[in-house]
Structure 1
Amino acid sequence: MPRNEFDAKKRHHYVWASYLTRWGRGTKNVFYTTKTGRIAHDSVRGIVVDDFFYKITPLSHKQIAVIKGYSRLSPGHLQRHHVSYLNDFLKMQHAEAAYRKSGIRMPEVELHLHALKCNLLENLHASHEKMAIPVLSALAGERLDVLLDKQHMIEFMAFFGHQISRTKTFRDCVIQAQPRRNATEIEMADAMAHAWWFLSYMFGMNIGFSLYSDRHNARHALLINETSVPFITSDQPVVNVHVCVSETVFTAPEHSDLYYPISPRVAYIICDSERFVRGRNEVDEATVVELNTKVAAQAMTHIIGDYENSIAPFQKYIGRRYQKAPFDQV
């Protein structure tokens, strides 16, 4: 049944539930690690989800200034996109402020405002997911030629960028990495945390554009796993598996091999390195184990697989990158 305008979406998945079902063996149930260190088997509807994770909150002048400051680091055409999206959200904020100032309270208006705050950003992510469906289906079927279509590549890179920036894992890492050595830095870090709902979308947009514009330089490859060790995924589905990524300090790496498992058998990678050739690559068991280990090390809580014994060997690595040393910078 279609939602009406007053229906607020409460349960916000920061990793797409439909994506996770590829580890469900034809069902919606997957094996995953819990916050308490157990391995559970349950529906994807109950994991990598927080209530109101993408809910819009009012932006102060300081928070808007922080957003615009980060935006100015981007190419001009992206800055214009950022401002356009930001203005749309601010129009809603100003309209609500005028309504509050009027002193009038109308139940239908209250419901509508709440639904807008809960749904607008969630719906933006859903639109990227919808456009990526045919690409992901083709890639899962080992048909890399789907990306010869320019529009498909644009939509997939936009989706890919947001798979990096939209997660709780990415948010918590970035916020924790902000310096808080004096009042100015504390104010900046707090403003960034409060404006994160917009910044995360803006960063995803930038990452997606960068990946698309650099597509002829980086190596885009499909990894095919025919070994007895399946690919796993996590609460941070895209991870950097380049050898330069530190396993002891959370610092900004100089290079990236961005790895995205699509199913227990198929993964996609965008490489700065020359480790894989463009196109189809069959990987051996040692490579699968290495990639799964790095997925676990860059997960915060959940690794996800199609069988319990697919994730159990990697459980000890969960969060390793974030636990060995203090955060330095992102």
Structure 2
Amino acid sequence: MPRNEFDAKKRHHYVWANYLTRWGSGTRNVFYTTKTGRIAHDSVRGIVVEDFFYKITPLNHKQIEVIKGYSQLSPDHLQRHHVSYLNDFLKMQHDEAVYRKSGIRIQEVEQHLHALKCNLLENLHASHESKAGPVLAALADEQLDVLLDKTHMIEFMVFFGHQISRTKTFRDSVIQALPRRNAIEIDMVEAMAHAWWFLSYMFGMNIGYDLYVGRNYAKHALLINDTRVPFITSDQPVVNVHSCVSETEFAAPEYSDLYYAISPRVAYIICDSDRFARGRNVVDEVTVVELNTKVAAQAKTHIIGDSENAILPFQKYIGRRYQKAHPDLAHKQLPSIDGRLPFWC
């Protein structure tokens, strides 16, 4: 067995590190806000990362039922994909249980099992990143026609969906917003929190599919920023910037304009609104400031830019939406997540 089969990946980035290097001015060092409110300049390897964030944990009957319950809200073909992925993980769980029951302990088996738990989901995300990488490079170079290729569009939309659902910001927002008014709801919160590693991947799959099938109805646009204010990004790289998104409560927005900065100069947006035309749009400084403000407001800790001056004006907005909405969170019901965008986006 190759040696790398035993190498467990510990440091899991919930925002792709290579994506962040576009703010590094040719290096891997970016400017970003820290948990303590400072602005630091360091490698992308040390931010938007958590040890074992995507590590697989055993699923009990309740947690499996929660997964299947959400899956059943999806179209049939997506349900089949969900079940296929879930069965793969459950088979591994079953095989480990048989091994544990035997009472035998073999060091190589222990190392291999640990590596599988740490690497399987991380490797799935890495696969999506690898496939989307050439598309992102082309878009950063303003080559929007790269998405005329159906395969490229599918890969980019799947990647885009996971950029919403795979983050720590998304996870914490969902779990925090779940009602806890009785024992049943508390059990549901605990089940979702424990099964989140699978649910987040499933939700990303659904969102990506929804964006792909709706590509001819929503307006897909490239935003070009030639102003003195560069685009920034954050620990939640895709955000809903539609005017209907409430800053004071977590409520399901009627529409979505999903915004994703690709570099300090280029961004991609998928609009329900008529704000931007399909294709290439040159934006003014007022628009850039508005978009950066909304990115910061929907970040939890980190906003990232290519200079200290790029992020300093927006630091005061970090987490504003969560702070304003927090008093009402305990009383909000969580809508079904069936491929439509969830309410915190």
* Structure 1 SS opposite 2:242: coil
- 1:123 Cα deviation after fit: 0.0
Superposed structure 1 runs of 4+ greater than 2 Å apart:
325-330
- 2:298 corresponding residue in structure 1: 298
For 1:5 and 1:29, locate their aligned partners in 2 and report how far apart those are by CA, in whole Å. 30
* Structure 2 SS opposite 1:180: coil
- 1:24 corresponding residue in structure 2: 24
Q: How does 1:167-246 map to 2 (within 5 A)?
A: 167-246=167-246
- 1:260 corresponding residue in structure 2: 260
For 1:293 and 1:272, locate their aligned partners in 2 and report how far apart those are by CA, in whole Å. 20
For 1:267 and 1:291, locate their aligned partners in 2 and report how far apart those are by CA, in whole Å. 10
- 1:126 corresponding residue in structure 2: 126
- 1:250 Cα deviation after fit: 1.8
* Structure 2 SS opposite 1:325: helix
Percent of aligned positions that are identical: 84
User: Unpaired segments of 5 or more residues in structure 2?
Assistant: 335-342
- After superposition, give the CA deviation of every residue in 1:81-125 in whole Å (9 maximum; x if it has no partner): 000000000000000000000000000000000000000000000
Q: 2:232·2:305 contact (CA, 8 Å) conserved in 1? A: yes
Give the letter for the 2:154 counterpart. Answer: I
- 1:207 Cα deviation after fit: 0.2
Q: 2:229·2:310 contact (CA, 8 Å) conserved in 1? A: yes
Give the letter for the 2:11 counterpart. Answer: R
Q: How does 1:59-208 map to 2 (within 5 A)?
A: 59-208=59-208
For 1:255 and 1:10, locate their aligned partners in 2 and report how far apart those are by CA, in whole Å. 38
Indicate whether 1:8 and 2:8 are aligned: yes
Question: Structure 1 residues 14, 117: closer, same or farther in 2, change over 3 A?
Answer: same
* Structure 2 SS opposite 1:4: helix
For 1:3 and 1:285, locate their aligned partners in 2 and report how far apart those are by CA, in whole Å. 52
Give the letter for the 1:137 counterpart. Answer: A
- After superposition, give the CA deviation of every residue in 1:283-302 in whole Å (9 maximum; x if it has no partner): 00000000000000000000
For 2:299 and 2:3, locate their aligned partners in 1 and report how far apart those are by CA, in whole Å. 33
- After superposition, give the CA deviation of every residue in 1:128-155 in whole Å (9 maximum; x if it has no partner): 0000011000000000000000000000
For 2:252 and 2:3, locate their aligned partners in 1 and report how far apart those are by CA, in whole Å. 42
Q: 2:247·2:325 contact (CA, 8 Å) conserved in 1? A: no
- 1:192 Cα deviation after fit: 0.4
Give the letter for the 2:218 counterpart. Answer: A
- 1:325 Cα deviation after fit: 2.7
How many equivalent residue pairs? Answer: 329
* Structure 1 SS opposite 2:325: coil
- 1:3 Cα deviation after fit: 6.3
For 1:250 and 1:37, locate their aligned partners in 2 and report how far apart those are by CA, in whole Å. 25
Q: How does 1:44-63 map to 2 (within 5 A)?
A: 44-63=44-63
For 1:235 and 1:25, locate their aligned partners in 2 and report how far apart those are by CA, in whole Å. 19
| TM-score using structure 2 length | 0.95
* Structure 1 SS opposite 2:296: helix
Indicate whether 1:325 and 2:317 are aligned: no
For 1:272 and 1:137, locate their aligned partners in 2 and report how far apart those are by CA, in whole Å. 25
Give the letter for the 2:188 counterpart. Answer: M
For 1:3 and 1:88, locate their aligned partners in 2 and report how far apart those are by CA, in whole Å. 23
| TM-score using structure 1 length | 0.99
Give the letter for the 2:55 counterpart. Answer: K
For 1:192 and 1:293, locate their aligned partners in 2 and report how far apart those are by CA, in whole Å. 31
* Structure 2 SS opposite 1:5: helix
- 1:247 corresponding residue in structure 2: 247
User: Unpaired segments of 5 or more residues in structure 1?
Assistant: none
For 2:225 and 2:165, locate their aligned partners in 1 and report how far apart those are by CA, in whole Å. 26
For 1:158 and 1:235, locate their aligned partners in 2 and report how far apart those are by CA, in whole Å. 19
- 2:270 corresponding residue in structure 1: 270
Give the letter for the 1:98 counterpart. Answer: V
- 1:156 Cα deviation after fit: 0.3
* Structure 2 SS opposite 1:324: helix
For 1:13 and 1:140, locate their aligned partners in 2 and report how far apart those are by CA, in whole Å. 21
Per mean C-alpha deviation after superposition, the further-off stretch among 305-314 and 243-252 is 243-252
Question: Structure 1 residues 277, 3: closer, same or farther in 2, change over 3 A?
Answer: farther
For 1:294 and 1:20, locate their aligned partners in 2 and report how far apart those are by CA, in whole Å. 18
Give the letter for the 2:173 counterpart. Answer: C
